[in-house]
A and B are shown apart, each in its own frame.
Chain A
Amino acid sequence: MTTKPYIPLSSKLHDWVTTADHKKLGVMYILCGIFYLLVAGCEALMIRWQLAFPNNDILAPETFNAFFTMHGTTMIFLVGMPILLGAANYFVPLMIGARDMAFPRLNAFGFWLFFFGALLLYFSFLGGQGLTGEEGAPEVGWFAYAPLTSKTFSPGSATDYWIIALFVAGMGSIMTAINLVTTILTMRCKGMTMMKMPIFAWMMLVDACLILIALPTLTAIQIMLLLDRQYGAHFFDAQAGADPVIWQHLFWFFGHPEVYILILPAFAFVSEVTPVFSRKVLFGYPMMVVATVSIGFIAVGVWAHHMFATGLSPAVLSYFAGATFLIGVPTGMKIFNWIATIWGGHVRFDTPMLFAVGFIAMFTIGGLTGIMLAVVPMDWQLTDTYFVVGHFHFVLFGGLLFAIFSGFYYWFPKVTGKMLNETIGKWQFWFIFVGFVLTFGPMHFSGFEGMPRRIYTYMPNRGLEMYNMLSSIGAGVQVVGIVLFIYNIIASLYKGKPAGDDPWDAWTLEWSTTSPPPPWNYAELPSIASRRPLWDIKHPEDPDWEYE
Chain B
Amino acid sequence: MYLGILPHIVECCLATASTAGDIPSPENLSIFDPVSPVSTTIRDLFMLVFGVIGIIFVVTEGALVWSMIRFRSKGDETTEPPQIYGSNPIELAWTVIPILIVFVLFLVTTRTIYSLDLQEPPEGALRVKVTGHQWWWEFEYEDLDITTAGELHVPKGVPVFVELRSFDVIHSFWVPRLSGKIDAIPNRENHLWFQADEVGTWYGQCAEFCGTQHAKMLIRVISEDKEDFEAWVTNQQLDAVEVPSALSGKETFLSLACVNCHNVDGVMLQGGFAPNLTHLMSRETIASGAAENTPENLRKWLRNPNSIKDGCLMPNMMLSEEQIELLVGYLTTLK
Contact = CB atoms under 8 A, between A and B. Distances in A.
A422 B183 CA distance: 50
A148 B170 contact: yes
B26 A466 contact: no
Interface in A267-288: 278-281, 283-287
A164 interface: no
B50 A372 contact: yes
B116 to A, nearest CB: 6
Given A311-B185, A368-B56, A452 B174 contact: yes
B334 interface: no
B207 interface: yes
Contact of A539 (B30, B80, B113, B172): B80
* Range class of the A interface residue count: 35 or more
Contacts of B74: 346
Interface stretch (A23-31, A252-260, A375-383, A477-485): A375-383
Interface stretch (B65-73, B123-131, B245-253): B65-73
Interface in A445-483: 445, 448-450, 452-467
Interface in B164-205: 164, 168-170, 172, 174, 176, 179-183, 185-188, 190-191, 203-205
Contacts of B91: 284, 287, 333, 336-337
A361 B14 contact: no
Contact of A333 (B14, B39, B95, B207): B95
Contacts of A368: 53, 56-57
Contacts of A351: none
Interface in A340-378: 340, 342-349, 357, 360-361, 364-365, 368, 371-372, 374-378
A20 interface: no
Contact of A245 (B17, B80, B185): B185
A238 interface: yes
B71 A343 contact: yes
A374 B65 CA distance: 27
B41 interface: yes
A318 B110 contact: yes
A449 B64 contact: no
A455 B209 CA distance: 8
Contacts of A542: 83
Contact of B212 (A62, A245, A453): A62
A237 to B, nearest CB: 10
Contacts of A459: 27, 218
B80 A286 contact: no
Given A145-B209, A364-B61, A377 B98 contact: no
Contacts of B180: 309, 377, 379-381
Contacts of B27: 459, 461-462
B153 interface: no
Contacts, number: 310
Contacts of B215: 61, 455-458
Contact of A460 (B23, B64, B188): B23
Contacts of B10: 445, 448
A450 B60 contact: no
Contact of A286 (B29, B68, B86): B86
Nearest to A153: B169
B19 interface: yes
B158 interface: no
Given A244-B187, A245-B185, A333-B94, A343 B67 contact: yes
Nearest to A321: B109
A376 B112 contact: yes
A242 B187 contact: yes
A325 interface: yes
Contact of A377 (B81, B83, B109, B187): B109
B114 A463 contact: no
Interface string B8-27: 00100110111110010011
Contacts of A377: 41-42, 45, 109, 112-113, 116, 180
B85 interface: yes
Contact of A321 (B84, B110, B176): B110
Nearest to A531: B85
Contacts of A60: 310-311
B117 interface: yes
A360 B64 contact: yes
B94 A336 contact: yes
Interface stretch (B99-107, B137-145, B296-304): B99-107
A326 interface: yes
Given A375-B49, A452-B207, A317 B102 contact: no
A309 B183 contact: yes
Nearest to A544: B83
B262 interface: no
B282 interface: no
A188 to B, nearest CB: 21
B16 A466 contact: yes
Contacts of B116: 377
A279 B80 contact: yes
B186 A450 contact: no
Contact of A346 (B50, B71, B185, B206): B71
Contact of A145 (B30, B56, B61, B208): B208
A310 interface: yes
Interface of B: 10, 13-14, 16-20, 23, 26-32, 39, 41-42, 45-46, 49-50, 53, 56-57, 60-61, 63-65, 67-68, 71-74, 77, 80-87, 90-91, 94-95, 98-99, 102-103, 105-106, 108-110, 112-114, 116-117, 134, 164, 168-170, 172, 174, 176, 179-183, 185-188, 190-191, 203-216, 218, 310-311
23 contacts: A145-B169, A145-B170, A148-B210, A244-B185, A245-B188, A280-B82, A281-B85, A287-B91, A309-B207, A314-B110, A318-B110, A329-B95, A344-B71, A346-B80, A372-B46, A379-B180, A380-B180, A380-B181, A384-B209, A445-B13, A457-B215, A460-B20, A462-B29
Given A332-B94, A381-B181, 19 more contacts: A139-B211, A139-B212, A153-B169, A238-B169, A287-B95, A309-B180, A314-B117, A343-B67, A347-B73, A364-B64, A372-B53, A376-B112, A380-B182, A458-B215, A459-B218, A461-B26, A462-B18, A466-B17, A539-B80
Closest CB pairs A-B (n = 4): A380-B180, A450-B29, A455-B215, A311-B190
